[in-house]
């Protein structure tokens, strides 16, 4: 029998736990999707977000931040009116804004993965705990212009992308 983290209790959560959560990735779209979904999750259950994942992929151009950065008011209004999605104005604005920050911030040829993993690697060297690392990365990303991210969102994001091993000790993935 497979031992998982205690929160992986439904088919959606089990699939997410087994296939995505805690696995390091350098795929820009997967990273931006992880950040965006963590923003969307604020105040909601993770299962609610996962059940809408395919709809988010479709509505947000598979989380290609270069495309999202070019969203105009018509696309924004369409997202607000799409009943398949979480229609929170501030969260939608944050995703679009964060995509624009990435496009403006990244040098020619640099990727979100380059930016993020350089930040993670530098911070790991200076931090004595995952919480301290999370706080330092949060501070740096806010300084760079990212919005709608806080301590809980940042920790969940770093866990999701495998910046550190988030699995419980009894979990087979630990």
Asked if 7 and 18 count as a contact pair (C-beta separation under 8 A), the reply is no
Catalytic site residue 173?
no
Set 7, 21, 38, 148: catalytic member? 38
What distance, in Å, lies between the first and last C-alpha atoms of the chain?
A: 15
The residue annotated as part of the active site, out of 16, 71, 115, 148, is: 16
Active site residue 12: no
74 catalytic residue (yes or no): no
Select which of 7, 12, 21, 46 is catalytic. Answer: 46
Could you give the CA distance from residue 162 to residue 72 in angstroms, rounded to a whole number? 33
Burial degree of 54 (CB within 10 A; 0-12, 13-18, 19+): exposed
Distance CA 58, CA 3 (A): 33
145 known ligand binder: no
> Any binding-site annotation on 17?
yes
The response to whether 97 counts as a known ligand-binding position is no
> Residues annotated as binding site for Zn(2+)?
5, 17, 167, 171
> Residues annotated as binding site?
5, 17, 167, 171
Q: Which positions are annotated as active-site residues?
A: 16, 38, 46
């Amino acid at each position: 029998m497979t031992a998982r983290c205690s929160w992986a209790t439904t088919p959606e959560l089990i699939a997410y736990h087994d296939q995505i959560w805690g696995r390091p990735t350098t795929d820009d779209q997967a990273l931006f999707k992880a950040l965006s979904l963590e923003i969307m999750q604020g105040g909601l259950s993770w299962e609610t977000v996962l059940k809408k994942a395919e709809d988010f992929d479709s509505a947000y151009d598979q989380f290609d931040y270069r495309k999202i950065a070019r969203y105009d008011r018509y696309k924004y209004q369409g997202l607000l009116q799409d009943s398949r999605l979480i229609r929170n104005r501030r969260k939608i604005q944050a995703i679009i804004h964060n995509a624009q920050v990435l496009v403006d911030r990244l040098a020619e040829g640099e990727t979100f993965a380059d930016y993020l993993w350089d930040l993670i690697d530098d911070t790991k060297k200076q931090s004595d705990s995952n919480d301290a690392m999370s706080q330092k990365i949060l501070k740096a990303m806010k300084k760079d212009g990212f919005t709608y991210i806080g301590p809980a969102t940042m920790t969940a994001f770093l866990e999701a992308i495998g910046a550190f091993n988030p699995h419980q000790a009894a979990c087979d993935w630990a």
